[in-house]
Amino acid sequence: MTGSDTEDVEIHGIAAGGTGVGRLPDGRVVFVHRTAPGDRVRIRLTVEKDRWARARLVTLRTPGEGRRPAPCPYYDRCGGCTLQHLEPHLQLEARGGLVQDALTRIGKLEGLPPVELHGTQPEFGYRNRASFTLRRLGVRPEAGAMVTAGRTPATPQVLAGFHALERPDRLVDVGGEGPCLLLEPTVARLWHDLRAAWGHNASRLPAGAELRLTLRGLVDGTGVLLVEGGGGRGDPEALLADVPGLRAIWSRPANGGRPRLLAGEEAPEERWFGERVPVRPGAFLQVSREGAHALHALALAELDPQADDRVVDAYCGFGVYGRAAARRGARAVGIELDPEAVAMGRARPVDGFELDEGAVELRLPGALPADRVILNPPRGGVAPGVMEALAASPPRRLVYVSCDPATLARDLRRLGPGFRVTRIQAVDLFPQTSHVETVVTLDHVSSTPSTPSTPSTPSTPSTPATPA
């Protein structure tokens, strides 16, 4: 049926990636972007497999409750926001459902407490960092640009924006119809001024067929730019001078080498969790200020470090949780692979907190036993060996902060039956998208927490979470 044939289906849920989920007459599951639970839609299949299919929305016959017109002018084309057509409370419910589904389906965990949902911020204007793709069209690749469709236009052109929905090879130019609605005002202004100042064919930026431009706005209304994938310098000094509030331009080569400062200040500072933090390429700070502070408060409350506890903060960056634990009187160690993050933390010492540079899977066994451990890994989750080390030398409390429900579920399954899940909290750091941050609290089954976790909303008693 792929191609010209169409089919009517009803959408009953939201899947990872933000696609609506329906069922074809033959019983196969079908995934359809831009649909909502309760929608009756006509679709056209684009991909068919034995047990599932993907389809494109052709006609919305009957809208479900909670559907709304998407306010962004780029929404029909852009692949960035996949849930903007849902009211905020339904977006939050969908994210909670993704967490619950992953823990039960992928993690095979039983007896879980309900997922608590936390909306933490405005639905628009929250991103302090955004990455855009810039593509130069019409110049031969050896001259630093891309030939498109075998033709060389007479006038070189530049596209700069986000990848298209389900077509990552295509770009949606972002600027002419207004800013992306997710951007903080500082980032939106910097993007507008950068586009106006980068010159004909973006000649003030480093050469290259395709560049990745990441803007980060700082709390004082200024910002920094990282250019990735180009070669040469361009004219960064002139660009810096013509973009008000831009304080630094960095470049990272296409081979992923170390970034270098092209123009401006080496380390503008940002205030984060009450501390002054230098902002350099590679330094990880959440894209949402309000959301990050809410997430930090929730995770720290669950970790609940006590005086004289031994605490391990793994995948710690410069040591957000370990530093906070040490200020409460705990003996804390942070484990971090990135040498720049470690150097930043060591340059701002806190009594009772030490930083151990290296891979968590190698360093964690030497940091155990501990009373409390917090894991805050990247999207790929923890490396093999980490959960096994925790199972072999279990802390009384383990807090896992995750940005990917699937890898969270996989890692908790590896932990085995020695812990029970006492609380699951889904935190809305990325409105309009299907991304979600999750804070999972686990206690060792033979331990009695010194201060039990108290949910902000009533929940049913939890039972040991073990692989089925």
- Positions annotated as catalytic residues are 403
Comparing CA positions, the residue from 123, 119, 94 lying closest to residue 20 is: 94
Q: How would you list the strands of the sheet with 260-264, edge to edge?
A: 167-173, 157-164, 129-137, 210-217, 223-228, 246-252, 260-264
Spatial distance between the Cα atoms of 105 and 138, rounded to a whole number of angstroms: 48
Spatial distance between the Cα atoms of 299 and 440, rounded to a whole number of angstroms: 9
Residues 453 and 320: beta-carbon distance below 8 Å: no
Spatial distance between the Cα atoms of 131 and 181, rounded to a whole number of angstroms: 14
Spatial distance between the Cα atoms of 89 and 66, rounded to a whole number of angstroms: 9
Omega into 394 within 30° of 0, i.e. cis? no
Helix axes 289-303, 320-327, angle to 10 degrees: 50
CA dihedral 121, 195, 132, 54 (to 10 degrees): 90
Return the CA Rg of the chain: 24
Spatial distance between the Cα atoms of 148 and 132, rounded to a whole number of angstroms: 19
- SS3 state at 36: coil
Spatial distance between the Cα atoms of 212 and 321, rounded to a whole number of angstroms: 31
